[in-house]
Amino acid sequence: DQQVKQNSPSLSVQEGRISILNCDYTNSMFDYFLWYKKYPAEGPTFLISISSIKDKNEDGRFTVFLNKSAKHLSLHIVPSQPGDSAVYFCAARMNRDDKIIFGKGTRLHILP
Amino acid sequence: KAGVTQTPRYLIKTRGQQVTLSCSPISGHRSVSWYQQTPGQGLQFLFEYFSETQRNKGNFPGRFSGRQFSNSRSEMNVSTLELGDSALYLCASSLTSRSGYTFGSGTRLTVV
């Protein structure tokens, strides 16, 4: 049972445009959400996070939006750059045991 | 400061054998988590150790086990290897169980 779902396996976006990566979750016990970025042959690196008590968090070109009623979060990257081409994982932390559950990832291709 | 170190980087084993993977967390980090990454399945949680105690466990068979030493280094063991165990095994460490993770580069295990 996939508690964190990234329904788009891949996404292609023109350089300079906005990239929007989506994530849905099913468990209301999640209290913290994270996005990780992964390049081939490297481990995931932390990108941005958001607490369940907020609906938006911004860090430079990256903004994460949380819609608790819809159990949906999204990562916006503006403007998209070639170095943003990577796999992006959405993750959620369970508030009862701190376990972090990852989605399957979305591969983002930034087109020149 | 040094990051999370995983050894070896690559490993080829035969079906039925066993394997031990090692993870050295960032100095001072007491929590170590292990994940399995396979194509199409994202990052699947194996287990988490904190101060030498297993805090959380994912839905993997008993062939997968781990431990953590007093210096916070962790090992993961897989016995009676199956072809389906071929994957990238990632270790992540954090200061506390509620802090963000820092991942290592992973160990690529191939079972033939």
Per-residue pLDDT tens over the stretch A53-112: 999 999 999 999 999 999 999 999 999 999 999 999 999 998 777 788 999 999 999 999
Q: Which residues pair with A34 in a beta bridge?
A: A49, A91
Q: Are strands B107-111 and B10-13 parallel, antiparallel or unpaired?
A: parallel
Q: Give me the mean pLDDT over the B90-99 stretch.
A: 81
3-class DSSP assignment, residue A57? strand
Q: Structure tokens of A6?
A: 């990234």
Query: Is the pLDDT score of B61 beyond 80?
Result: yes
Contacts (Cβ under 8 Å, ≥6 apart) of A4: A23, A24, A25, A26, A90, A91, A92, A101, A102, A103
B44, B48, B103 member nearest A43 (Cβ): B103
* CA–CA distance, A22 with A3 (Å, rounded to integer): 14
- Amino acid A100: pLDDT: 87
B57-60: which pairs have CB atoms within 8 A and are 24 or more residues apart?
A: B60/B36
Closest alpha carbon within chain B to A37 = B103
Whether the Cβ atoms of residue A73 and residue A66 lie closer than 8 Å to each other: yes
B40, B43, B105 member nearest A102 (Cβ): B43
A97: chain B residues, CB-CB within 8 Å? 55-56
Q: What is the pLDDT of residues A79-93, one digit of tens each?
A: 999 999 999 999 999
Contact yes or no for B56 and A99 at CB 8 A: yes
Q: Are strands A72-77 and A19-25 parallel, antiparallel or unpaired?
A: antiparallel
Q: What is the pLDDT of residues A15-41, one digit of tens each?
A: 999 999 999 999 988 999 999 999 988
